[in-house]
Chain A
Amino acid sequence: MPIEIPKDKWTGSIRAVTIGGTSAEGGTRAKSVTVGGQTSMPYLHYEALTPNKPVIAIEIKSHKPDDWSPLLAEAWGEAMAEPAQWAKKAEEAGADIIVLALTLADSPEDAVRVVKSVLSGTGLPLIVWGPGQAEKDNELLVPVSEATKGEKIVLGICEDKNYRTIVATAMANGHLVQSRTPMDVNLSKQLSILISDMGMPKDRILMDPTTGALGYGIEYGYSVMERLRLAALQGDAMTQSPMIVTPGFEAWKTKEAKVGEGVPEGWGDWKARAINWETLTAIALIESGADVLVLRHPESVKRVKDAIEELTIPA
């Protein structure tokens, strides 16, 4: 007996957001990347196809990080000391986007210089994060934004206590913003409202709902993302932005990924375990609707990309 699969009809859809400015828009990117545009819950291809696949961003830093796992240092090698080189290697590893994280050690001039060097080292679209301290973020991101007009960079990270300066400079220079809130549907929505109240076009906002790594609260993050997606499809304009998540950052701070010695033997090979942790975290988030995944290890990138290919084959 043929079984009819019930199909949901949604009134809302996810906004398509394009990152990266090509020469046509006054930028220098080889190509831009578009995410979002979904009209159904993730990968229910009998309801609707996935118009834009999830994309992978690889996170690099303006200075070689000393708190990253030696496994990551081993993977990226010398390139870690030189952001432009690192970005190039990341592009070769399969990144669709580069996330460049600035540090507290950067001066505004350093920040502009390093962003420009990364822009010349790769043709990929760019996401630039401040070091994560409100005043310093604003101090670095404003000159970066002004120096890169037309590149359609995503500037971040906007939080509810510090978003005005970043949004204002992004608006003035044609960039996008990343809006981060701590795992709560209402808070996500509230920050989107605050940002769009300033006049920021809604198709220049990426929503970062924050997530936890596998075993560290991912189910909570998963459920928040799922509820955000449901609200968006039900027509809530303030939850319709594509979602960016940071499984690389989350997974690589877990003990399972970070520590190679003094752990139970049953945990198995350290490297395999660490990469599995990052990969599994990322894939779970893809299932819950993530559009941009920020990863750290090249092997994870490869595996997650394979998973995306499989998921997005039309039924």
Chain B
Amino acid sequence: MQHTVSFTHNDKQTPVEVSTGVLLSDAAHLAGIDIGQPCGGQGRCGRCAVQVREGDVRRRSTLRLSPDDVEQGYALACQTVVEGDVAIYVPPQEKIERRLTTDRVVAEVTVPADYEYLQDQTVRRIHLELTPPSMDDQTDDWSRLQTAFRLQHKMERVACSVNLLREMGEVLREGDWQVTAIVETSRLTDEKTCKLINLQPNHVDEYSPLWGCAIDIGTTTVSVWLVDLMSGQVRAQVAEYNGQIARGEDVISRIMYASKNGGGEELRQRVLDTINELLETACKRVKARPEEVVKATIAGNSTMIHLFLGIPASNIRLSPFITAVNHPPLMTAREVGLKIHPEASVDCLPGVASYVGADITAGVLSSGLDNAENVTLFLDVGTNGETVLGNRDWLVTCACSAGPAFEGAGVVNGMRATTGAIEEVWINSETFEPTYRVIGGGKPKGICGSGLISLLSEAFITGIIDKAGNVNLMASSSRVREGAHGGEYVVAWGAESESGEDIVISRVDVDNLLRAKAAIYAGFTVLADTVGVPLETTDKVLIGGSFGKYINVEKAVQIGLLPDMDWSRFEFLGNTAVKGAYYALLDWRKRERITEIAKRMTYIELSADNSFYEAFTSALFLPHTDMSKFPSVAEALEGKVNK
């Protein structure tokens, strides 16, 4: 039977005649409308969603569409057949991308709603008016300043460095005895004791920014957020690979390098250089000078903090795995070598143990896990895969070495999630041709973590690689070939890429990714087993990590990185460590909360028995050796295998 399908696309109406049972995608093709089908018309990607405005259709699959979408008439063109005269609206492609519900977009950083500079901040900028000295009033400059602090701001005890004393006389006179001081109080003890950080002549506009920075020193990636302490706003976010990578990809090799002659000092300098350059970039963005930054809060794993402070880290590696310090005392930027205001406080957040550091305690705070009512799983997908399980009553944690693959390092064409990174890939299962999305929209330079997850999953689902990660050289596509490191798949030909070189994923890359995902999966499954909490019963899975904008949950499940459960239970939080440092930077109560969290966490050592290794090797497969743990992936594969 013949039917009329009337398409509306770009404000143009095109009717075509087709018979019963014809796919909407085929009908659109007849009408000369090109509906993108990156997955090859398999109903896997959802990019061909159209809206049925009138008439009867039959949807063979609505995977990717929410019940709401279906209610509104949305249908997948490649999975929907015509059963009568219909009117179809074809939305512009970019609208579709936004509709897709499987991408859990990371939340924007918002200033905590209750942030009150005067209540929460330890750093204070105050104006002081001093009585000028005279022949009758012979009080010394420092006493005169102390008196002003006491009388005008009730600050009884003010500490001051010799460096400030050296400049003090000139500043006081230059400002004609009107000065602006930046002081830091210890809110925890009392507000009457404080430390002078900076003294400058004249008034400073009280609404002008007061700069602080939150830093996460990751094994692979260092992130710096520049924050206006007055408003609490994050004004610049920058990140770069840790300069120490050149001396080892994981914490163990760094510790070994550091224990060599001069190695520790070199590593300290390398990470300092990375941080100082990032600070400079961030400051440039807001037209400030790094010396204007008067407070720094630092998160990072225990090894990174030791190396940053130049503290020998070798005992972290040696049984019984003891750090020199889990909670370093407050220091000044001058002491540690940060190129911000030399008197600024540098606050290294507290860690729990050698392998569960301040990045995790900060992550727990920013993810809200410590306040969760129900049992929640928190994963930090980084070079060290740390996992925390618990709620507001208890917290257990473990760590495992995953490697830097998900941060785009240690992978031939890997890169950080910045402009030019391929962040998502679809592969047509018939032709093996890829469709990819590049951050910033320009030519691709490489593939970032989320792109690698996406690519691995697509290559697996379409059969380009088998469950063990072997590239199937029998696949009939010029993109599958023998490369320098075994089989490889070409994601972008040199003609399309920024460098002119092919962008590929090789067998070695796949192995690195498999090991990373297996370590993380094994970590949280063993942890859950150890405390006897079935993963299915966890309320939420919170995911932190240095990915770009988002991580595609479905694909992360397909490669067996995340457990196969209802996608709505996953929440992607971005870099939780730097966010935790940011909260601590703003609010002294939150800063104290991190200390409490560190005390509350119970650390479970995975190397105590062979259960981790067992779980690791069983996870070293796509998605997992035990397929019954991944029913949704089994379903997705079924169509393929039957063919």
Contact = CB atoms under 8 A, between A and B. Distances in A.
B497 interface: no
Nearest to A161: B470
Interface string B137-164: 0000000000000000000000000000
A261 B617 CA distance: 42
A186 to B, nearest CB: 4
Contacts of B474: 164
A190 B468 contact: yes
Contact-residue size bin, chain B (C-beta under 8 Å from the other chain): 10 to 19
Interface residues of A, number: 14
A49 interface: no
A194 B625 contact: no
B489 interface: no
Contacts of B472: 164
A193 interface: yes
A106 interface: no
A134 to B, nearest CB: 11
B621 interface: yes
A186 B470 contact: no
B572 to A, nearest CB: 29
Contact of B641 (A164, A190, A197, A238): A197
A187 B466 contact: no
B467 interface: yes
A209 to B, nearest CB: 14
A194 B617 contact: no
B466 A186 contact: no
Interface string A142-182: 00000000000000000011001000000000000000000
Contacts of A161: 470
Given A184-B617, A186-B618, A193 B625 contact: yes
Interface string B605-627: 00000000010011011000101
Contacts of B627: 193
Contact of B617 (A186, A197, A238): A186
Contacts of A29: none
Contacts of B641: 197
Contacts of A186: 614, 617-618, 620-621, 625
Interface in A116-164: 160-161, 164
Interface string B447-486: 0000000000000000000111010101000000000000
Contact of B621 (A164, A185, A190): A190
Overall SS of chain B's interface: loop
B467 A194 contact: yes
Contacts of A189: 618, 625
A194 B466 contact: yes
Nearest to B615: A186
B620 A194 contact: no
A287 to B, nearest CB: 23
A193 B467 contact: yes
A197 B625 CA distance: 13
A197 B467 contact: yes
A14 to B, nearest CB: 19
A220 to B, nearest CB: 12
B486 to A, nearest CB: 9
Contacts of A193: 467, 621, 625, 627
Contacts of B470: 160-161, 164, 194
A150 B641 CA distance: 26
Interface of B: 466-468, 470, 472, 474, 614, 617-618, 620-621, 625, 627, 641
28 contacts: A160-B468, A161-B470, A164-B470, A164-B472, A164-B474, A184-B617, A185-B614, A186-B614, A186-B617, A186-B618, A186-B621, A186-B625, A187-B617, A189-B618, A190-B468, A190-B620, A190-B621, A190-B625, A193-B467, A193-B621, A193-B625, A194-B466, A194-B468, A194-B470, A197-B466, A197-B467, A197-B641, A238-B625
Given A190-B620, A193-B467, 13 more contacts: A160-B468, A160-B470, A186-B614, A186-B620, A187-B617, A189-B618, A189-B625, A190-B468, A190-B625, A193-B625, A197-B467, A197-B641, A238-B625
